[in-house]
A and B are shown apart, each in its own frame.
Chain A
Amino acid sequence: MAQAFRLPMGGRIDRSKPIRFTFDGRMIDGFTGDTVASALLANGVHLVGRSFKYHRPRGILSHGSDEPSALLSVDRGPGRVDPNNRASVVEARDGLKIVSQNRWPSLAFDVGAVNDLLSPVFVAGFYYKTFMWPRSFWDKVYEPVIRAAAGLGVAPQVADPDRYANRHAHCDVLVVGAGPAGLAAALAAAETGKRVIVADEQAEPGGALLHQPDALIDGRGAEAWRAAAIGELDARENVVLLPRTTVFGYYNHNHVAMVERVADHRSDAPAGTPRERLWQVRAAEVVLATGSHERPLVFADNDRPGVMLAESVRVFINRYGVAPGRRTVFATSGASAYVAAADAKAAGIDVALVDIREERECGPEAAWLRAAGVDVLTGHTIVGTQGRKRVEGLVVAPLSNGGVGARRVIACDCVGMSGGWTPAVHLFSQSRGKLAFDAALDAFVPGVSAQAERSAGAASGIYDLAACLDSGFTAGTRAAGSSARRTFAASETRIGFKPARALPTDANPAKVRAFVDFQNDVTAKDLKLAMREGFESIEHVKRYTTTGMATDQGKTSNMNALGIVAEGLGRPLPSVGTTTFRPPYTPVTFGALVGPARHALFDPIRTTPIHEWAAEHGATFENVALWRRAWYFPRPGEDRQTAVARECRAVREGVGVFDGSTLGKIEVVGPDAAEFMNRLYVNAWIKLGVGRCRYGLMLKEDGYILDDGVVARLADDRFHVTTTTGRAPRVLAHMEDYLQTEWPELDVFLTSTTEQWAVIAVQGPKARETIAGLVAGIDLSNEAFPHMSVREGHICGAPCRLFRVSFTGDLGYEINVPSDYGRAVWEAVVEAGAPFGITPYGTETMHVLRAEKGYIIVGQETDGTVTPDDVGLAGMIARAKPDFVGKRSLARPDLLAAGRKQLVGLATSDPSLVLDEGAQIVADPNQPIPMTMLGHVTSSYFSPSCGRSIAMALVADGRALTGRTLHVTTPDGFTAVTVREPVFFDPDGSRVNA
Chain B
Amino acid sequence: MLLIDCPFCGKRPEVEFHCGGEAHIARPADPAQVDDAIWAEHLFVRKNPRGLHAERWRHLHGCGQWFNALRDTYTDRFVETYKAGEQPKHPLTETRA
Which of A110-118, A251-259, A707-715 lies at the binding interface?
A: A251-259
A170 to chain B, nearest CB (A): 10
Residue contact A733 to B27, C-beta cutoff 8 Å: no
| Chain A CB within 8 A of B32 CB | yes
Judge whether B19 is part of the interface by a CB distance below 8 angstroms. Answer: no
**Residues in B neighbouring A253, C-beta threshold 8 A:** 1-3, 76
Q: Which residues of B contact A737 (CB under 8 A)?
A: 20, 58, 66
Chain A residues with CB under 8 A of B18: 733
Residues on B with C-beta less than 8 A from A843 are none
Partner of A741, one of B31, B60, B84: B84
Chain B contributes a number of interface residues (CB within 8 A of A) equal to 27
Number of A-B contacts (CB under 8 A): 60
Closest Cβ of chain B to A260, distance in Å, is 19
Beta-carbon contact of A883 and B1 below 8 Å: no
- Interface size range of chain A in the complex: 20 to 34
B1: nearest chain-A partner, CB-CB: A255
Question: Per-position contact with B for A251-295: 1 when CB-CB < 8 Å, else 0?
Answer: 111110000000000000000000000001010000000000000
The answer to whether the Cβ of B41 comes within 8 Å of any Cβ in the partner chain is no
A887 and B31: CB pair below 8 A?
A: yes
Q: Which residues of A contact B64 (CB under 8 A)?
A: 736
Verify if A742 is at the interface (C-beta below 8 Å from B).
yes
- A432 vs B76: C-alpha distance when bound (angstroms): 10
Distance in angstroms between the alpha carbons of A755 and B34 in the assembled complex = 41
* CB-based contact A741/B1 at 8 Å: no
Interface residues of B in 5-40 (CB under 8 A from A): 13-14, 18, 20, 27-28, 30-32, 34, 36, 39-40
* Structural contact, B30 and A883, CB atoms closer than 8 A: yes
Q: Does B73 contact A (CB under 8 A)?
A: no
Say whether B39 contacts A744, CB under 8 Å: no
| A701 in the interface (beta carbon within 8 A) | yes
Task: Answer whether residue A893 sits at the interface, using C-beta atoms and an 8 A cutoff.
Answer: yes
Measured between beta carbons, the chain A residues less than 8 angstroms from B14 are 252
Q: Judge whether A930 is part of the interface by a CB distance below 8 angstroms.
A: no
**Out of B39, B58, B60, B84, which one reaches A889, CB within 8 Å?**
B39
A744 touches B85 (CB 8 A): yes
Contact with B along A725-742 (1 / 0, CB 8 A): 000000001001100111
**Known pairs A251-B1, A701-B43; A888 contacts B31 (CB<8 A):** yes
- With A450-B75, A888-B34, A888-B39 already in contact, the answer to whether A740 and B1 are too (CB < 8 A) is no
Q: A255-B3, A701-B43 given as contacts; is B75 within 8 A of A741 (CB)?
A: no
Cα separation A945 to B39 with both chains bound (whole Å): 47
Q: Is B56 located at the chain interface by the 8 A CB criterion?
A: yes
The answer on a CB contact under 8 Å between A740 and B65 is yes
Q: Which residues from B are CB-within-8-Å of A701?
A: 27, 43
Q: How far is the CA of A282 from the CA of B40 in the complex (A)?
A: 42
* A485 at the binding interface (Cβ < 8 Å): no
**In the bound complex, what is the Cα–Cα distance between A252 and B40 (angstroms)?**
35
Chain B residues whose C-beta falls within 8 Å of the C-beta of A432 in the assembled complex:
75
Does A882 make an interface contact (CB < 8 A)?
yes
Q: A532 on the interface (CB 8 Å rule)? A: no
Look across to chain B and name the residue whose beta carbon is closest to the beta carbon of A740: B66
Set of chain B residues within 8 Å of A744, measured between Cβ atoms: 84-85
- Tell whether A892 is near chain B: CB-to-CB under 8 Å: yes
Q: Is the CB of B84 within 8 A of A252?
A: no
Least CB separation from B14: chain A residue: A252
- Would you list which residues of chain A between 215 and 272 have a CB under 8 Å from chain B? 251-255
Interface residues of B in 26-83 (CB under 8 A from A): 27-28, 30-32, 34, 36, 39-40, 43, 56, 58, 60, 64-66, 75-76
B84 & A740 in contact (Cβ 8 Å cutoff): yes
B3, B27, B34, most chain A CB atoms within 10 A = B27
Instruction: Name B26's closest neighbour in chain A (CB-CB).
Output: A742
Q: Is A917 among interface residues, defined by CB-CB distance under 8 A?
A: no
Instruction: Encode contact with B along A748-788: 1 for CB under 8 Å, 0 otherwise.
Output: 00000000000000000000000000000000000000000
Closest 4 CB pairs of A and B: A888-B31, A253-B3, A255-B1, A740-B66
Interface residues of B, Cβ cutoff 8 Å to A: 1-3, 13-14, 18, 20, 27-28, 30-32, 34, 36, 39-40, 43, 56, 58, 60, 64-66, 75-76, 84-85
**What are 6 contact pairs spanning A and B, CB under 8 A?**
A252-B3, A253-B2, A253-B3, A432-B75, A701-B43, A888-B39
